Amino acid sequence: MLTTLLRPDSGHATVAGVDVLKHPNKVRSLIGLSGQYAAVDEYLTGRENLQMVGELYQMSARDAKARALELLEWFNLSEAANRTAKTYSGGMRRRLDLAAALVVRPPVMFLDEPTTGLDPRNRMALWEVIETLVEQGTTLLLTTQYLEEADRLAHDIAVVDHGKVIARGTADQLKAQIGGERVEVVVQNPLDLSEAVAALTPYAKGDPTVEQHTRRITVPVSGGARVLADVIRELDSRSIVIHDIGLRRPTLDDVFLSLTGHVTTDEEGEPDGAAKSADKAAARTADSAEPIRKES
């Protein structure tokens, strides 16, 4: 709705101070959009793709061309500039798509799962680009299923479960909400799991989570490394063989689990397609104060 692709049934919204319903074209000239599926024309070259987008942002043909070359350079696509996008790898296409969203240096950007399906190297490279943008003052609205991505890129995180915002705040605020450290134990023998849970219970500051197939138990604790030593001794005294054990700070995954009470639903396994974007974290990193406002 904020990108003007959908019209809301009611209410109103502003992007960078411009009313989405009253001046949709003004909004469109202020935003850049990059989706989950790289929306580039595979029969055009990288340069032609960016130049076309520039011209459709109402730039002159010459400016659009200059900007296209500048972006190709920035995204390390100069060498592929005159090849059709069909010959690009997945990572290159995604970079081209992101470049297309940056043609007019938009003050507000919408990225829908920008790194879904990318290998770790390309994901890191894309994160660096996104961080640079944010440093330079772009307001970014990012949706992602990778909570690690939200943790790294976002200042302000809204956790969405089945269409409802269930929590908002910075990554640290969200983590603080569910408590501090936790001990994670992986036992050697799955039959030891219940025994191990019993052993951990005296140290637990909350309900332990058990993952049967990975033989992993996670319990919130307080007391740091001392507790870890105690837990190891306790398990040892009960002759439970430990495969792996560690103390760690909560991740946003833990936040999500404790907030929703269930494991992140796999999109593929979703019984009805309607809930497609249900379990996502919408993350926003803002430089200017509250550029996106939505009321209903």
Partner 1 sequence: MTTMTSAVGNAVPTHRGGLLPGLRDSWVVAKRNLRRMTRIPEIVVFGMMQPVMFVLLFTYVMGGAIRVPGTASDPNAYKQFLMAGIFAQTVTFAVAGASAGIAEDMTKGLVDRFRSLPMARSAVLVGRTLADLVQTALTLVVLGLVAFAIGWRIHKSVLEAFCGFLLLLLLGYAFSWIGALIGLSVRSPEAATSAGLVWLFPLTFISNAFVPVSTMPGWLQAIAYWNPFSATVQAARDLFGNLPPGPGPTEWPMVHAIGVSVGWSVLIVVLFSWLSVRKYRSAVG
Residue 92 engages partner 1 in binding (rule: CB under 8 A): no
CA distance 224 to 142: 34
Apex 51 CA angle, 47 and 55, nearest 5: 175
Given 11, 19, 62, 73, the residue binding partner 1 (CB under 8 A):
73
- For partner 1, the closer of residues 48 and 254 by Cβ is 48
Written in H, E and C, the secondary structure of 268-296 is HHCCCHHHCCCCEEEEEECCCCCCEEEEC
Residue 138 engages partner 1 in binding (rule: CB under 8 A): yes
For residue 92, what are the CA distances in angstroms to 49, 96, 125, 215? 13, 6, 11, 39
Which region, judged by CB under 8 A, interacts with partner 1, from 29-37, 156-164, 219-227, 239-247? 29-37
Residue 10 engages partner 1 in binding (rule: CB under 8 A): no
Per DSSP, the residues of 149-203 read HHHHH-SEEEEEETTEEEEEE-HHHHHHHT-S-EEEEEESSGGGHHHHHHHHGGG
Residue 286 engages partner 1 in binding (rule: CB under 8 A): no
Which region, judged by CB under 8 A, interacts with partner 1, from 28-36, 146-154, 244-252, 274-282? 28-36
Strand ranges (DSSP E) for the chain?
12-15, 18-19, 31-34, 108-112, 139-144, 156-161, 164-169, 182-187, 209-211, 216-220, 242-248, 280-285, 292-295
Lay out the site mask for partner 1 across 40-69 (x = CB under 8 A, - = otherwise).
xxxxx---x---xx-xxxxx----------
- For partner 1, the closer of residues 84 and 209 by Cβ is 84
- For partner 1, the closer of residues 27 and 171 by Cβ is 27
Given 15, 20, 30, 158, the residue binding partner 1 (CB under 8 A):
30
Residue 102 engages partner 1 in binding (rule: CB under 8 A): yes
Residue 290 engages partner 1 in binding (rule: CB under 8 A): no
Residues that bind partner 1 (CB under 8 A): 3-7, 25-26, 28-31, 33, 35, 37-44, 48, 52-53, 55-59, 70, 73-76, 84, 100, 102, 104-107, 125, 128-129, 132-133, 136-138
